[in-house]
Amino acid sequence: MTDKDISLQLKEYVGKARKVYIVTGKNPDIDVLCSAVCLHDEFTLRDKEVTLFAPELQEEREKVLFGVENLFTYLPEQRTTVKVNVEGRGVKKVNYELKDNSLSFYITPREGQIYREDVNVYTPKLKADLVITLGVQKPENLTQWPHTWAQEFEQEGAVINIDNSPHNTLFGSSDVVEPTAKTMVQLIKDVIQKLEWNMSADSASILMQGLVSKTKQFTHNVDPEIFSLAAYLMSKKGKVPSKKVKEDVDLDG
């Protein structure tokens, strides 16, 4: 798929969405976290209802999320409902048993019998039109959700999968996966450009913070592309974080 095709795809999915979930992998590093905050802010500026999930986020890293509303450090539970029609029969007793990884319910009606057609199972749907994952290699990594959540959600909305891991399984409706990218910040910059959005100065500063953390103040794993990325963010009026901020938030090494 060409860059133009990906751009058109992203515009379509984002344009249709009103409610957006941004979901990181467990305990995201500052690079991923700043990327998530940037997307959160850019979508919010465009009147999207955005919720950010950063599962098992270390408390020390939460300062990066200052000012972010609708932030959760856990994924919403997907509670399954088992509904039984007992009309005309009532219920005398209900028991359950968890054994050998199997949950059994025992329902004793006051009268008559309960049949298979009286039992219905309801699985809740994600309350979003668009799910954007950052640094999630495969759907199963989000252990609070069913392993098939991405496939099932695509029947109702779209999944944009953004990652720089070579082990990503390309599970999205649109996959922005580039294993050669040294930082998530690079991919987020590319996504914003593909959407033809004008990045705000605040977003550029947030991405710069992630870049500084990931490269240990431009002393680790840098190349011309990294310096070009920094120059681009500065051209968008992104500010290099102060030394004090860098010491506070650089937890990645």
Q: What is the pLDDT of residues 176-234, one digit of tens each?
A: 999 999 999 999 999 999 999 999 999 999 999 999 999 999 999 899 999 999 999 99
Q: Give the CATH fold of the 3-75+126-197 domain.
A: inorganic pyrophosphatase (n-terminal core) (3.90.1640)
* C-alpha gyration radius of the chain: 22
Q: How far apart are CA 229 and CA 16, in angstroms?
A: 30
Q: How far apart are CA 65 and CA 34, in angstroms?
A: 8
**Residue 248 pLDDT greater than 50, yes or no:** no
For 84-97, what is each residue's pLDDT tens digit?
A: 999 999 999 999 99
Long-range own/partner contacts, residues 102-107 (CB < 8 A, 24 or more apart): none
Residue 37 tokens, joined: 């905050």
Segment (H or E) for 24: strand 19-24
Q: Which residue in this structure is represented by tokens 């005398």?
A: 92
Where are the extended beta strands (E) located within 46-118? Answer: 49-53, 71-72, 81-84, 93-99, 102-108
Residue 125 tokens, joined: 């749907």
Cβ pair 50, 20 in contact under 8 A? yes
**Residue 143 pLDDT greater than 80, yes or no:** yes
DSSP code of 205? H
The domains of the chain are located at: 3-75+126-197, 81-122
Q: How far apart are CA 169 and CA 242, in angstroms?
A: 38
Encoded amino acid at 113, one letter: Q
